[in-house]
Amino acid sequence: MQHESPPRAWVEVDLEAIAHNLDIARQALPDTQLMPVVKAGAYGHGLEPVARRLDNDGVAFFGVANAGEARRLSQAGIRTKPFILGPTFPEEREEIVLNNWCATISTVEEAQHLQQLAALYDKTLLVHLAIDTGMGREGVLPEDLGNMIPLLKTMPNLVVDGVMSHFPCADEDVPYTQEEIARFEACVQTLQHHFRLRYRHIAASAGELGYEIPAANLARPGLLLYGVAPMASIYDGVLRPTLKLSSRVSLVRTLPAGYGVSYGRTYMTTRPTRVATIGIGYADGWSRHLSGKGAQVYINGHYCPMLGRVTMDQIMADVTEVPFISPGDEVELIGPHIPVTQVAALADTIVWEIFTGLGPRLPRLYH
């Protein structure tokens, strides 16, 4: 039997840190139920292992992106009900009805289709009405509620069990977010005359940390679970990092002064330079936008500047200052010495994109 070669790059996930961060959310909101958001493979941390760790932890739902993720949860034996956060496609709805997953409704068409399927299979489907309080992505506009409510009441197989919305700028615009909270409250008040709304939710991580939302009794933390507070907050020092991204040195060589490194030769050595080649690239999610931005990697106790462009499977770093280094040595790319927030800033993007960009080629190791 051939030995499988050790991975060139991998992700280590600390499931206990994720559970700890969920506890922090719980302590911050003692009277609010929680829907941990595990969409996009639990933000790159691995859908099933994260859901398994948080299952039975007193959570109301798991937030997922689509029916495929909901199916993976149910195939993994997860008992917490999946909640499909965005609008559903018609092809997904039969499976949703048959499995009694929770879906949202923004339009009459979606409601009618779900009603039709639920009637066909003699099911009662619990749905959440989405309200667009300002995100412009899904939901009924508040002024259209008057038309929507009587229609929903004619659908015997649908039960409006909850109401939801989503903030577009909870971490950027406090006054606007406060207006939205008021709009949401007004919608909840109207809807409560017609439906028994067991769940009322609008906040993701930023909304959850930053605002009082008396009308809500459920929150949907995502990023927060993965150790990053989306806005400077008292939780900054309390959340635990959940993930480490590592690779290994494949080669160490000395290049002469005036030598170009990587595609485009955008970096030229200014002196004889020890250059390490490292087994990770943009195909793994180490963004090409990190090229030429002063990004560093951490090897054997030293910060080493990355040189030139990120290539598909490999990067190069200046290891002239690292006294002992040889092929096989570990390289930290995200972890205790290199926070993911810094990587996101250098790549000119957000932490969410760095996490979810971590590719399928990276094995996930769990502690």
Catalytic residues: 39, 263
Which residues lie below 8 Å from residue 276, measured CB to CB, with a gap of 6+?
A: 249, 251, 252, 299, 304, 316, 317, 319, 325, 331
Least Cβ distance, residue 82 to ligand PLP (angstroms): 13
Q: What is the DSSP letter of 264?
A: G
Contact 308, 291 (CB under 8 A): yes
Q: Which residues bind ligand PLP (CB under 6 A)?
A: 37, 39, 63, 85, 166, 204-206, 220-224, 230
Pick the closer one to ligand PLP by CB: 9 or 206: 206
Structure tokens at 293: 């931005």
Q: Which is nearer to ligand PLP, 210 or 285 (CB)?
A: 210
- The Cβ of residue 341 has, within 10 Å, a number of other Cβ atoms equal to 15
d(CA 85, CA 108): 18
Q: How many CB atoms lie within 10 A of CB 194?
A: 13
Compute the distance between CA of residue 305 and CA of residue 302 in angstroms, rounded to an integer: 10
CB of 84 closer than 8 Å to CB of 72: no
Q: Copy the structure tokens of residue 191.
A: 């809807």
Output 34 or 297, the one with its CB closest to ligand PLP: 34
Q: What's the closest the beta carbon of residue 138 comes to ligand PLP, in angstroms? A: 8
Give the residue nearest to ligand PLP (CB): 222
**Residue 63 or 227 having the CB closest to ligand PLP:** 63
Which ranges of the chain would DSSP assign to H, the alpha helix? 15-28, 39-43, 47-54, 67-75, 90-99, 108-120, 145-153, 174-192, 205-210, 340-346, 351-357
If the CB atoms of residues 163 and 276 are measured against ligand PLP, the closer one turns out to be 163
Closer to ligand PLP by Cβ: residue 35 or 118: 35
Task: Name the minimum Å distance from CB 132 to ligand PLP.
Answer: 12
Within 129-204, residue ranges assigned H as helices are 145-153, 174-192
111/4 Cα distance (integer angstroms): 50
